[in-house]
Amino acid sequence: MLVIFDKVQKSYPGGRPVLRDVSLSLDRGQTLALTGESGSGKSTLLNLAAALDTVDSGEITLDGTALSKLDDPGRASLRRKSLSLVFQQFNLIPSLTVDQNLSFHARLAGCHDPDWCAHLADRMGLSDLLARYPENLSGGQQQRVAIGRAMAARPKLLLADEPTGNLDETASATVLDLMLSLVADTGAALLLVTHSHEIASRLDRRVHLAGGQLA
């Protein structure tokens, strides 16, 4: 398995539990939707998978590496080389063009491939927009740039937190189609947080968080 959560526990400062005894796994090429009400622990689980936070107990393993064994530089290296994130808010760098944003993560990871980035731009319908800046793009176009940037480093794991939450229905469908297509083509695993049952139904599996536990 590419990703394994083994009896993971996480609490807020003060001791209130966020995740309680969470165990799940995700293999290469699989897509998994994580649903749940606000405050159920979805974003916390995603942050733990991204090595942006650490577990209180239990273990998360990514591609054979136990995250609890890594120091801060080790977690940063893992994020650069093994996983990518897509957020609801796009998080593009406003001072960089579309072309520069697309290649940003791959350059940080030391695996920039101009041909692959050009292919991604074409697949995402961005080839005519490469010289533009994020402020001159629609929300759907910005999210396509964010997905292209995430996939430019050829991650083993793609983490997406409500990636269509700020988009209208048409743009949302386009973005989801492109994301699933790229994940299928590259063999990456996808863990996607969503409130939408329609979006969740498009993925291979669905798990639901309620009160910090998988239901």
Inform me whether the pLDDT recorded for 82 exceeds 90.
yes
pLDDT computed for residue 10 by the predictor: 97
Cα(21)–Cα(166) distance, rounded to whole angstroms? 32
Render pLDDT for 154-207 as a digit per residue (tens, 0 to 9). Answer: 999 999 999 999 899 999 999 999 999 999 999 999 999 998 889 999 999 999
As a whole number, mean pLDDT of residues 28-52 equals 94
Give me the domains of the chain, ranges plus CATH numbers: 3-214 (3.40.50.300)
How far from chain centre, in Å, is Cα 211?
A: 23
As a whole number, mean pLDDT of residues 108-129 equals 96
pLDDT computed for residue 14 by the predictor: 83
pLDDT computed for residue 39 by the predictor: 84
Give strand pairing partners of 36: 209
Query: Is 171 within 8 Å of 143 (Cβ atoms)?
Result: yes
- The residue assigned the tokens 């733990």 is 48
pLDDT computed for residue 215 by the predictor: 81
